[in-house]
Amino acid sequence: MCCPSDYYFGYKLTLLSTWNGIPIAYDLAPANTDERVAIESLLEMAQGCTIYGDKGFIDCDWQIQVQQRMGNQIWTVLRKNQQYQHSPSLNRFISRMRQRIEGVFHEIQNTGRNPESTAQQNH
Per domain, the residue ranges of the chain are: 11-109
Cβ atoms within 10 A of the Cβ of 93, count? 15
pLDDT confidence of residue 121: 52
Cβ atoms within 10 A of the Cβ of 42, count? 17
pLDDT confidence of residue 77: 84
The pLDDT tens digits of the residues spanning 4-32 come to 556 667 888 888 888 888 888 888 899 88
> Is the CA virtual torsion 69, 75, 78, 84 positive or negative?
positive
The answer to whether 10 touches 120, Cβ cutoff 8 Å, is yes
The pLDDT tens digits of the residues spanning 79-121 come to 889 888 999 999 899 888 888 888 887 887 777 655 555 555 5
Rounded Cα–Cα distance for residues 85 and 34 (Å): 24
CA 44 to chain CA mean position, Å: 14
